Structure 1
Amino acid sequence: EINMGATAIGTGITTHPDYAAAVLRHLREISGLDLATADDLVEATSDTGSFMSFSASLKRNAIKLSKICNDLRLLSSGPQAGLGEINLPARQAGSSIMPGKVNPVIPEVVNQVAFAVAGADLTVTMAVEGGQLQLNAFEPVIAHSIFQSITWMRRGMRTLRINCVDGITANRERLGAMVGASVGVVTALTPFIGYAASAALAKTALLTHRNVGDLVVEAGLMSREEVDKQLSPARLSGLEAITQAIPIVQPAENVVES
Structure 2
Amino acid sequence: MSNQEFRVEYDLLGERQVPQEAYYGVHTLRAKENFEISGTTVSCYPNLIIALAAVKQAAAVANAELGLLSPTLRDAIVAACIEIREGHLHEQFVVDVIQGGAGTSTNMNANEVICNRALELMGHKRGEYAHLHPNEHVNLAQSTNDVYPTALRIATFFAIEHLLEAMAQLHAAFDEKALEFAGLLKLGRTQLQDAVPMTLGQEFSTYAVMLEEDMARLREASALIREINLGATAIGTGITAHPDYAQKALEALQRITGIELSTAPNLIEATQDCGAFVQISGMLKRIAVKLSKTCNDLRLLSSGPRAGFGEINLPPMQAGSSIMPGKVNPVIPEVVNQVAFEVFGSDITVTFAAEGGQLQLNAFEPIIAYALFRSFKHLTAACITLADKCVKGITANAGHLRETMERSLALATALNPYIGYKNATSVAAEAHAHGTTIREVVLRRQLMTGAQLDEALRPEALIQPRIYGSLVDLIAAAGAGAEQDAVAK
Root-mean-square deviation over aligned CA pairs: 1.5
Structure 2 CA distance, aligned partners of 1:220 and 1:14? Answer: 91
Structure 2 CA distance, aligned partners of 1:190 and 1:197? Answer: 8
Q: CA deviation at 1:95?
A: 1.8
Deviation digits for residues 212-250 of structure 1 (CA, Å, limit 9, x no counterpart): 012112222222122223223333333xx34469xxxxx
Conservation of the 8 A alpha-carbon contact between 1:190 and 1:198: yes
For residue 73 of structure 1, give the secondary structure of its aligned residue in structure 2. helix
* Distance change >3 Å, CA 75–CA 227, structure 1 → 2: same
Match of 2:340 in 1: 114
Conservation of the 8 A alpha-carbon contact between 1:88 and 1:164: yes
Q: Which range moved further: 214-223 or 59-68? A: 214-223
Aligned residue identity for 1:30: I
Match of 2:353 in 1: 127
Aligned residue identity for 1:91: M
Match of 1:177 in 2: 403
Structure 1 CA distance, aligned partners of 2:372 and 2:437? Answer: 54
Conservation of the 8 A alpha-carbon contact between 1:124 and 1:145: yes
Match of 2:181 in 1: none
Conservation of the 8 A alpha-carbon contact between 2:319 and 2:329: no
Match of 1:255 in 2: none
Structure 2 CA distance, aligned partners of 1:169 and 1:212? Answer: 29
Q: Does 1:24 align with 2:250?
A: yes
Conservation of the 8 A alpha-carbon contact between 2:311 and 2:400: yes
Conservation of the 8 A alpha-carbon contact between 1:9 and 1:45: yes
Structure 2 CA distance, aligned partners of 1:30 and 1:73? Answer: 45
Match of 1:197 in 2: 423
- Structure richer in strand, relative to its length: 2
Q: CA deviation at 1:171?
A: 0.5
1:15 aligned residue (232, 241, 259): 241
Aligned residue identity for 2:427: L
* Aligned ranges 1:67-106 → 2 under 5 Å: 67-106=293-332
Structure 2 CA distance, aligned partners of 1:227 and 1:214? Answer: 10
* Distance change >3 Å, CA 30–CA 116, structure 1 → 2: farther
Match of 1:49 in 2: 275
Conservation of the 8 A alpha-carbon contact between 1:188 and 1:242: no
For residue 194 of structure 1, give the secondary structure of its aligned residue in structure 2. helix
Deviation digits for residues 57-92 of structure 1 (CA, Å, limit 9, x no counterpart): 011001101100000000000112210111100001
Structure 2 CA distance, aligned partners of 1:244 and 1:204? Answer: 25
Structure 2 CA distance, aligned partners of 1:243 and 1:103? Answer: 45
For residue 261 of structure 2, give the secondary structure of its aligned residue in structure 1. coil
Structure 2 CA distance, aligned partners of 1:26 and 1:226? Answer: 73
The runs of 5 or more residues in structure 1 that have no matched partner are 246-258
Aligned residue identity for 1:59: K
Q: Does 1:187 align with 2:413?
A: yes
Match of 1:217 in 2: 443
Match of 2:148 in 1: none
TM-score normalised by structure 2 residue count: 0.48
Deviation digits for residues 87-121 of structure 1 (CA, Å, limit 9, x no counterpart): 10000123222112211000001000101111111
Deviation digits for residues 1-53 of structure 1 (CA, Å, limit 9, x no counterpart): 11111122222222112221122123212332211011121211121111010
| Structure with bigger gyration radius | 2
Conservation of the 8 A alpha-carbon contact between 1:230 and 1:242: no
Q: CA deviation at 1:157?
A: 0.3
TM-score normalised by structure 1 residue count: 0.90
Q: CA deviation at 1:202?
A: 0.6
Match of 2:173 in 1: none
Aligned residue identity for 1:82: G
Match of 1:251 in 2: none
Structure 1 CA distance, aligned partners of 2:444 and 2:468? Answer: 27
Q: Does 1:163 align with 2:389?
A: yes
Match of 1:34 in 2: 260
Match of 2:164 in 1: none
* Distance change >3 Å, CA 189–CA 225, structure 1 → 2: same
The runs of 5 or more residues in structure 2 that have no matched partner are 1-226, 470-489
Q: Which range moved further: 57-66 or 220-229? A: 220-229
Q: Does 1:3 align with 2:225?
A: no
Length, aligned pairs only: 243
Q: CA deviation at 1:162?
A: 0.3
